[in-house]
Every structure is written in C-alpha cells, then in structure tokens.
Structure 1
Amino acid sequence: MNGDAVWLLDGGQDTAPPGTGWVCWAAGWLRVWHTQPVSRARVPGCRLLVDGHAVMDIKAVAKRLAAGEDTALGWLGGSATVIAVREHDVLVAGDLAGQRLVAVARHPRLVVGDQVSAVAGRVGAGFDPQWWALRLGAPQAVDVWWSGSPWAGVEVARPGWALHLERRSGTCSWRQITHLQPPQDDLVVAGHELREALINAVGTRAASARRLTADLSGGLDSATITALAATDSDSVEALTMLVPGVEDVVAARAVAALLPSVRLHELAVPEQAAPFADLDASGLDEPGIAANIGRERWWAQQIDEFGGGPHLTGEGGDAALTAPLSYLSGLTGLTAWRHARGWARLRQHSPAALVRAAWRLRRTSYADALRHEAHRIVHSGSPAAGLPARVSWFGSSTVEWLSPWARDTAAQLLRAHANAYEHPITPLNNAAVEDDAAWLVLIASGRMQRLYAQVHAEYGVQLESPWLDDAVVRACWRASAAARTTPYQLKPLLVRAMDGVVPDVALHRSTKGDYTASAYAGLRRHALRLRALFTGGRLAELGVIDEAAVRATLARAAEGLPVRLGRLDAVVGAEIWLRGRNSACGS
C-alpha cells in the first residue's frame, strides 16, 4: 500500500488503471485491481483481501465477517487496507492510526483506492480550494478536514469506519466498525497489553524478513523496536543519523552495546540531505512534508544498501504514547497543580496560567471550541502564543499567512462542523476532552507517516512503524491521556510495559534530540529559493495564501528569529506538492 493503490471499481469500469503490473482479483460480483503482493482468504460467504501487515489469522477474520460480524474487520491487529466481499455487500477499511487510507470518489462513478491522487486521476477531479484553506489555516482541527482531500469530490474514511457498498441498490455509505472502550486511569492493564502487542508487531515482521534493518536514533521509541527485533533476529542492522549538535547518537551507541545481535551503523547526513535542500514532492500522494524530503530519500538509499526486507522505525511512538497538554483538563486538585508546575518549570511559564487554561478547557465543548476558533481566524491576525495556548482542543490556527477569502472559508467550515457535531467523530464515542484530543493528534501523525513511507517506497524500502499497528493503538488507549503523560517521566506507559526488555539506558532517558538548529540552518541556506516559491505560486493561484506574509516569515527565519517551524513546513510542503501536480486529474 505504501507505494501503490488498491482499487475497487464498479461494474461499469473493469479496465486496469494506467501503468503496468496491475493484477485483477475477481471476487465474485466485484473486481479489485492491485499491484503489490497482497494476502487473500476465502471462506463460504466472504472473500477477503488484505494489503499490509496483519497479526491475526485472516481466514478466521473472514469467517467472522461471513457470519455478519462487521466489527471483525477492525481486528487484524496490524496496519492494513482490508476489502471484504460478501454475497450482498462489500466493506473496505483502513487502519486505526490513519496510515492506510480509504479514498472514495462517487461521481461520475464509484472509485475506491488507497491513494487520494490516484482516485482523483481516475475520475478527473480538480483541486478543492476550500479543503486547502481549512488544512493550512486550522491544521490541528483534524476532525474537520480529515474526511476531505486536496481533490474536490474525493473523500477519505475516518479511522474506525469502513466504506459499505450494497450490491443490489448500489448505495455507498460509511459504517463504524470500531468502538473503543473509555480509557482508564490505570497503566497496569494497558502496560500488559502494550507489551504483548509490541512483541507481536515486531516479531511477526521479523519472522518474514530476509534481512532486518531498524532505526536506532537513541530515543526511547526506536530503542524499544530495535530491542524487540534483537530478540527475534540473530542479526539486526541498526542505523542512526549523525547530525551536528544532536546528542542522540551517544544514547544509540549505549543501547547497541547492550544488544549483542545489533550492529550499529552511524551515517553522517550529507549537505544534499539537509533541511529544505530537496524540494521535490511530486511523488507524494498528498501534501505534508518539505524540510525532510531530501533526508528521507537519502535515508532510504542507505537502508536499501543494508536491507532487503522490512525496515522498522520508531516513528509514531510519540503520538501513540503521550498526549498534548490538553490532558491537563483531566486532572484536578493537587495533581493538576503538580503537573502544571512540572511543565511550567520545563518551559519557563506560570503554573497558574496552565491551571486556568485547563479549567477553561474542561468547560469548553468541542463545538464551542470550533466556533471560538472560527471567530479568531477571521478577527485576529496573530495566533495565540505561549504554553497555556496549547492547553486546548486543537491548539491555535495559522492565520497570519491566509488570504481574506481563505480565512472566511476556513471559519465557515469550522462553524458548519460545530453546528453538525457536538463531539469529535472518533472511535472513542464521546470520551473525555483529553482523550479525544490525543486521538486527533494520533491520526494526524499516521496520515503524515504514510507520506514518509511513500518516499521510502520510491527506493524499494518497506517502511514499517509498529507503533501505529491497530493492536498497539488499542493498548495505548486503554490508558487515559492523563495516566500516560507527565512532565516527570518520559512515556510512563512504555516504561511499565518494557521494563526488563529495553535497556535501562534508553528506558529511563529523560531528554530528546533537538533538531531545531538544523532546520533553521536549512532555512538560511535556501532562503532565496524558498522565497521564490512564493512569488506567483500555486497556493496564491488557488486564492489560499498571502504570499507577502509567507515571504516575510521566511525572511525572519533566515535571520534566526523564531517562527512556527511545523506550520511553515506545511505551507512550503503544500506549495511544492502543487507545483508537482497538474490542476486536474490527479496527475
């Protein structure tokens, strides 16, 4: 799935998509086109196609589906796109973390695939300026923009939902297949389930690998995956990046020294792979990354030299294991003050301001938060700043670069969503503020991770993130956001789950590598080229951004002044992605 599309075509179009290597799976009354190897199961009443990694027995899942148990589609445990064809209907679903998309175009005919741009090309869709305004203006309002795409008329299934197609009527609708239980303030059960899920996630991948490679950055997430891989494989080629000024390699060496089957390879990042050196995003299905495209391409080439099988990464661990500062709204009394004081000391802010922000958030419904943000987008020229601003449903929007039309459009879409939904649309079913907010961060991370996987697929590398497997996600959400996040310990849920498995030098590390200086160096080095992107660019052509405002921000960044790096990367990523695409047909 990472590099190719799986297709579900209606009866009126049974020709192969453009390109070579397509295989037709004739599943009774339906035809499915796919390219890369897939797994299949057939039982009386159901035919199942699985594209991706499954932990559970797919034939057993097919039997449950044949018996009418639609929720079985969400219990494969790994990360996959799944198509179930029954006598009278079909179900198509992705994963819980948002890595595996199900994209749908309904007009002029039904086309379903796992890449939005490929689906758009099949039906001749053009860009959707409204989605672009919302995605760039309110990037953390994930629930609002998730079900759309850069292309008009191309929808995306929400994680935990499946596309349901009736054979007789031809009707197409969304059906919820995953209902997660409310998270609990207890790490014991969640830790046990997480340990088992991670062991299975890594072990099943290692079992099928001819030669196993893994990232070992020195951080806790990659160290956990590498340590588990070392228990399943006699030889693990572990790779770590050498970036000037970043201390992660010291921790990576310490971890590797304690794992006899791990061979550590330290690779210095060359100039051509530095931030913003490579601005070609034409191979990506969606916009999203800019600064690190060159680094990921270079990294994939290094992996390819060592590998030949799946490459395990620690990406996704942050989103699965911790929560945004909105988790403070779930705390009260002395516990709330203690956590606020801890974060305040780390970031040099007032603990009282954090406590007040958490109190306000507890009393702000999701719908009201959307309405407040819509008002701010239209009437305020600067984003809310400081640590207390992060104690919110979805942070603050990026309005300083939006055109007046884009501001009005984003605000209208936020209000419309608020009028339609009192709560976020998640498998948690009206959970606490902090748990819903953490879920939105998770699926945004997953949708971004699929783009990194696509970059690696250009070089034949199968990038695998066990942290985003369904079973791992389920285990993490057994514990509440407030239970698994604290300023006093890095990832307490993982520490409980992996005690005795991961070397203590990684498990009890309290710092993370900071790559900010590298990003600013790239902005300075490529300042002229970046500013040129925003002179008569594609985003301005769509009416979405104020190019002068973007150029001014780039100039500040080049001078070393602080800017919102993540948001700026998203705008640059959107522009270079658009420049690599035609305005129609997804090409």
Structure 2
Amino acid sequence: MEFLILPDCAAAQPFARAAAGPGTRSVAHASGRPWLVGRWEDEECVLVDGGRNRLALLGPTRADTGPLARLLDNSRAPHDLDSLARSLPGSFHLAASFDGRTRTQGSLSTARHVFHARIGGVTVAADSPSGLTALMETRLHEETLALQLLLPVPWPLSGRPVWTGVETLGVGCWLDVRPDGDAREVTWWTPPEPDTPVARAADAIRDALVDSVAVRADHQDVISADLSGGLDSTSLCFLADATDARLLTHHWEPMDRANADTRWARRAADLMPDAGHRFATAADGPVWYEAAPDRDGASDDVEGPLVWTRNRAHTESLARTVRDAGATRHLIGVGGDELFGISPQFGWSLIRSDPLRGIRTMRRFRSVNRWPLGATLRSLADRTSFADTMARAAQGIDAPPAPRFTPPLGWGRGDPRMPEWATRDAVATVRRLLNETAARRPRPLHPDRLQHQTLEVTVTSGHAARQLNRSLRPLGVTFETPFLDDRVIEAALSVRVADRVVPGHYKPVLTTALRTTVPDAVLNRRDKGAFGQEAYEGLYRNRERLAELCDALRLADLGLVDAGALRAALYRPTPDTRALSPFENTLACETWLRSPSAVAPLAASPAGGPR
C-alpha cells in the first residue's frame, strides 16, 4: 500500500497525474478533484462516500460502512471524527475530506505515520517520504544522518526525516489541510492518566488485543506468526489460533542453550494442535549482521536507515518463508515489552503516587540492579525538566559511558552517547541539534516519567516496524504488530502505576488481561530469553566484511565517521553486549547510504513541478 493525500485545489492536480501508473487508484473530493491517489488492495481500504464528506480507512481495521455513512452525514467538520478515531480497532490511516478540507492521521505508535511537504505552494501528505520526494527537489539532511549515530536518539528528534522539506506529524495529531493547500497540525489525543485498577483495565486490554489480532486475520486464509516462546508473541499466537484463519507459526532456536525460549515454544505449540508449526535451528538461516543474498526485499528504504539492520537478512529470509507458505501477514510481539515490561522509571513514578509501596519496591530494584544508595536517592529526588535534561545530555554525548550500575531513572532511555568513531564535526552537530531542541522547551509526551518513557519506546518501535514493512513491501508480506495498536496502547497506559509490577510475577498486567484467553501453562513463564550469543556470533562471522566497508566508508566521505577508528573498534573484543549497539546504528547508516534509496530522490524534478 502507498498513497498521497492531495488538497482540493487546482494546484494539486498535476501531482495526481505524476503519481499515476500501473495499478494506481484514485478517489476524488466532492469537487471531483483528486484526493486520495495510490495503490491498495480492496481489503486494505474502507471507503465511505457521504456526499460532501468522504472517509477512507487504510489498513487492517473493522468498520461497518452503514454507521460510518450516518456519522459523516451528522458531521460538520473534521474534528467530529475524534470519537471514531478513538473507537476503531487495528492499525490504519484515517483520511477524510469535508467539502475539500482534509483530515489525515496515522497511528499513535507511528507504525502508520503521516509525512507531508510543501510542494508547489500546497501541502501534500503521504504514508511514506517516497511519495513526496518523487514530486520535489530534496537532498539528504546530513545533520539528521549524524543524529542517527547517537544512541539513543531522544524524542522528539528520533522521528526527524532524513530528507529536507519533509515533515512528520506529532504523536496524537492529525494534519488539517484547507482547500487552498495551507496546513496545520491538530492534537486530537493525549495519554490517559494512569489511574485505572488492573482488575478493570484488564478487560479493555484483552478486548483490544483480541480485536487487533482478529482484524488482521480477516480476509486471510492463512495467518503467520512468530512463536518465539516469549510471552508477547506466544500470546498473539493463541489469539490468532482462535480466528477463522489457519495459523502457521515460526520459531528459530536460539544459539544460547541457557535460553529457554524453545522449550516454552514447544510447550505452546502442543497446546495449538490445529495450527502448523515450523521450528528451525540457527544454522537454517542468516546470522546477525549478515548481508542478504539478494536485495529484492530491500528496494524501498527512502525513509532512512533501517533501525533493525542487524538481523535484516534473517527477517527477509523469514518473510520469504511466510510468503511461500501462502500468508501475507505475519504477527510479531513487538510492543509487548514496551507496554508491559518493567521500566526503571517505574520506581520514580511509584514513589510519587504511592510512597510506602514505592520505597519497598525501590529497595528490591536497588538490590537486584546493584545501584549505589546515594545515586539511587539522588535519582529518585531528581525533578529536572524534560527540556533541561536534554540540554544536560547534549554536554555529555562524547563522555565515557555512564557506570554500569547508575540508576537510569531520568526522562529518556539512557544517557545519549555518540560512538567513539564519530568525528568531532559529527559530535558538534549533534550537540547543537540537542541544544537547539532543548531551547525550544519541548514538552514530554506525558508529565509523568514512566508514562513518557512508555510512550517514547512505543513510538520508537512503531517507527522501526513501519520502516521494516516498507523495506519488505516487494516481498508482499507485512509484519503486523498488534501490541502497537491505538486501543491497546490506550488501555495499557491507563493502568495504575502500582499495579504494573507485582513481586514474583512477570508482566502481571498482560497476564491478568489474558488469563482467560491464553493457557496458564504459557502465562506462568517468569523470565525472558537473551540473544547476546547471536550478536557476538554474527559480529565474529561478518567482521571481515564489515571491516571492508571501512575501505570506502560513505559516512567518512560525509565527514561523520573516522574509518580507522571504526575498523579498530570492530576488532576490539568486548564482554558487554551493550557495546555492540553503536555498531548497529553506524551499520544501518552506512548500509543505507550504499542503497539506491539514499540517492534516488536526488534525481527528482524541481520543486513545484512533478516529474
């Protein structure tokens, strides 16, 4: 699926002609001018024609056109669709035309996102930068590429496009475009307060997950799913097994024998006798950091460096297996950890909402993580604002990593650091971007650190999932992430902080929600598999190939990376898997710079004139 959203004016009509090609479909505004132009299958789009008002839902969802038509009849402005946006299951783009005024939005996680640009004097929106860069003159935003080397990239910079002139929507916003092509961003959603007891929120979480899986099984003879053995993906398998589609699961045995994933996966498979189950050893597929044997699954990375580059070859191999088995949708458990796992900020938030329980919990956290008492107390007492935290982080991006046992109770996912092979110019550029952003005093996604962090990592995973699906589009398979759907996110964020961690229980909110739907034999797992051996083995096997990249490093040509320092680091052993993460960011950027996607938009026609 790919599409453009055009304003209801004559100046936008040439863009519809430029986007036309084999298989292109078009839906008009009430005026007859083109509104929605692109490619999609019938089951991927719900269209409702309400005369002067029109609505399109693009992506897996479930909606009755009769009530939708009545809603459009009774609506006077795009704002009147807020209640609809808050009620539908699945993951989709919502697009509406109200007598030529348009509303366009994606999903909260950005797994479905909206990009837009000012082209020829009007605002054009799209589900991907590729639709926009084909219509405009643009160039690589080298500052943004430098930012991609940072680990982690803090919100709101984490969603910054790599192409000049391309913008994105904020979380919980929709794009309001008037018929003359002028646009503004409108906030329609804010995170719920975490004040719902888990006993009450559990029903909403379960219903949302059941619906999210069900809409992806609609119109499917076969649906594929990861059966990793972990709680998240395994739960999705049981929900998929309850649909009318035939379930086919896939499990890759981990290299580390201490990882119990395979034992749990086989236990779950035995409880789903009607499904097909495929178990493969690590030797049956590519290792991490391996180049794919061909690039037929990697032809559309215009959005930028792929976050999940390290196991891209493995993912493409799995996508081909899924396709050959007759499935077009593959369920993965991404989002489960983000919404239901333990975040360090839990203690910071709990001690403010329930001090006595917070003190007891922090004693356990400190003991397990070996945090020094003084540092823990200082972190708990810290009230630094979100903007000031970003300004402080800017000063330390080239400092040595924080001590291993530093309590990570701040706003973000850790202290951002540039890799040791980043050039001084790259470090200075990133520091300036952080300082400039901090000076604008951005607000966090929620005033509470735990809520902010949960949303930030959810958006980060949505961004990665969106990129992955764009890159896999030529294979005809999408990797679906039900945990990242709006209804699931809302329900999870509403849970009272004190209910999110229960001593002796793993992901207690999720297991409570699914207790009547997923067997206890699966929900009783209390640990999570680790994949450090995959990282080390992949780096060891591919080190020579990765080092060869340094002979003609594109990042070095841009003045962002010292090729010699990167090569030396590749051959330096490290006992800590966290030290491998900077390699992944750098590899993602370098791989992308060598791909056709990094240069194709540069041949686009001048601004204002479609090709």
2:326 to 277, 283, 307: 307
TM superposition shift of 1:59: 5.6
Partner of 1:117: 130
Contact 1:457/1:463 (<8 A) preserved: no
Structure 1 letter corresponding to 2:221: R
Structure 1 letter corresponding to 2:466: R
1:364-375 alignment to 2 at 5 Å? Answer: 364-375=384-395
Structure 2 letter corresponding to 1:342: R
The answer to whether the aligner puts 1:67 opposite 2:76 as a matched pair is yes
Structure 1 letter corresponding to 2:278: H
2-side partners of 1:452 and 1:105: how far apart? Answer: 23
Secondary structure in 2 matching 1:556: coil
Per-residue CA deviation, residues 181-236 of structure 1 (Å, 9 max, x unaligned), is 21226212221110111111122332422122221111111111111122223742
RMSD: 2.6
Contact 1:312/1:465 (<8 A) preserved: yes
The answer to whether the aligner puts 1:336 opposite 2:358 as a matched pair is yes
Instruction: Select between 501-510 and 320-329 the one with higher mean Cα deviation.
Output: 320-329
Secondary structure in 1 matching 2:262: helix
Partner of 1:447: 463
2:279 to 247, 250, 266: 266
Contact 2:380/2:409 (<8 A) preserved: no
1:418-433 alignment to 2 at 5 Å? Answer: 418-424=438-444, 426=445, 430-433=446-449
Cα distance 1:63–1:382, how it changes in 2: closer, same or farther (>3 A)?
Answer: farther
Cα distance 1:176–1:291, how it changes in 2: closer, same or farther (>3 A)?
Answer: same
TM-score normalised by the chain length of structure 2: 0.87
Contact 2:149/2:586 (<8 A) preserved: yes
TM superposition shift of 1:573: 0.8
Secondary structure in 1 matching 2:552: coil
2-side partners of 1:99 and 1:90: how far apart? Answer: 21
TM superposition shift of 1:247: 2.7
2:94 to 82, 87, 111: 82
TM superposition shift of 1:52: 0.5
Partner of 2:344: 325
Partner of 1:31: 35
The answer to whether the aligner puts 1:388 opposite 2:406 as a matched pair is yes
1-side partners of 2:191 and 2:68: how far apart? Answer: 19
The answer to whether the aligner puts 1:468 opposite 2:484 as a matched pair is yes
Per-residue CA deviation, residues 543-586 of structure 1 (Å, 9 max, x unaligned), is 333333332332225x6665533332122111101110344616
Cα distance 1:59–1:382, how it changes in 2: closer, same or farther (>3 A)?
Answer: farther
1:282-297 alignment to 2 at 5 Å? Answer: 282-284=299-301, 285-287=303-305, 288-297=307-316
1-side partners of 2:85 and 2:132: how far apart? Answer: 23
Partner of 2:163: 151
Partner of 1:570: 585
Partner of 2:606: none
Identity of matched residues, %:
26
1:191-202 alignment to 2 at 5 Å? Answer: 191-202=202-213
Cα distance 1:524–1:59, how it changes in 2: closer, same or farther (>3 A)?
Answer: farther
Contact 2:158/2:460 (<8 A) preserved: no
Contact 1:357/1:389 (<8 A) preserved: no
Cα distance 1:414–1:226, how it changes in 2: closer, same or farther (>3 A)?
Answer: same
Contact 1:46/1:62 (<8 A) preserved: no
1:189 to 176, 200, 211: 200
Cα distance 1:289–1:230, how it changes in 2: closer, same or farther (>3 A)?
Answer: closer
Q: How many residues of Structure 1 are paired with residues of Structure 2 in the alignment?
A: 574
Partner of 2:148: 135
Per-residue CA deviation, residues 151-177 of structure 1 (Å, 9 max, x unaligned), is 11111112311111011x421111112
1-side partners of 2:552 and 2:311: how far apart? Answer: 24
Partner of 1:254: 267
Per-residue CA deviation, residues 438-462 of structure 1 (Å, 9 max, x unaligned), is 1111100111012232344332223
2-side partners of 1:150 and 1:272: how far apart? Answer: 32
Partner of 1:402: 422
Cα distance 1:19–1:407, how it changes in 2: closer, same or farther (>3 A)?
Answer: farther
Per-residue CA deviation, residues 398-454 of structure 1 (Å, 9 max, x unaligned), is 223432222222222222222223522x3xxx4312211211111001110122323
2-side partners of 1:289 and 1:49: how far apart? Answer: 31
Contact 2:218/2:245 (<8 A) preserved: no
Structure 2 letter corresponding to 1:413: L
Secondary structure in 2 matching 1:567: helix
1-side partners of 2:244 and 2:183: how far apart? Answer: 45
2-side partners of 1:535 and 1:62: how far apart? Answer: 60
1:544 to 547, 553, 560: 560
1-side partners of 2:587 and 2:374: how far apart? Answer: 33
Contact 2:89/2:215 (<8 A) preserved: no
Cα distance 1:57–1:565, how it changes in 2: closer, same or farther (>3 A)?
Answer: farther
Partner of 1:13: 15
Structure 2 letter corresponding to 1:159: V
2:495 to 479, 500, 516: 479
Per-residue CA deviation, residues 509-529 of structure 1 (Å, 9 max, x unaligned), is 111121111111111111121
Cα distance 1:248–1:577, how it changes in 2: closer, same or farther (>3 A)?
Answer: same
Structure 2 letter corresponding to 1:355: T
Unpaired runs of at least 5, structure 2? 604-611
2:250 to 229, 239, 242: 239
The answer to whether the aligner puts 1:278 opposite 2:291 as a matched pair is yes
TM superposition shift of 1:530: 0.9
Cα distance 1:187–1:354, how it changes in 2: closer, same or farther (>3 A)?
Answer: farther
Instruction: Select between 56-65 and 445-454 the one with higher mean Cα deviation.
Output: 56-65
Contact 2:255/2:533 (<8 A) preserved: no
Cα distance 1:360–1:137, how it changes in 2: closer, same or farther (>3 A)?
Answer: farther
Cα distance 1:337–1:307, how it changes in 2: closer, same or farther (>3 A)?
Answer: farther
Secondary structure in 1 matching 2:242: helix
2-side partners of 1:141 and 1:482: how far apart? Answer: 26
Contact 2:249/2:275 (<8 A) preserved: yes
TM-score normalised by the chain length of structure 1: 0.91
Secondary structure in 2 matching 1:437: helix
2-side partners of 1:542 and 1:262: how far apart? Answer: 51
2-side partners of 1:263 and 1:342: how far apart? Answer: 42
2-side partners of 1:357 and 1:565: how far apart? Answer: 29
Structure 1 letter corresponding to 2:25: V
Secondary structure in 1 matching 2:56: strand
Contact 2:230/2:264 (<8 A) preserved: yes
1-side partners of 2:465 and 2:109: how far apart? Answer: 10
1-side partners of 2:71 and 2:381: how far apart? Answer: 45
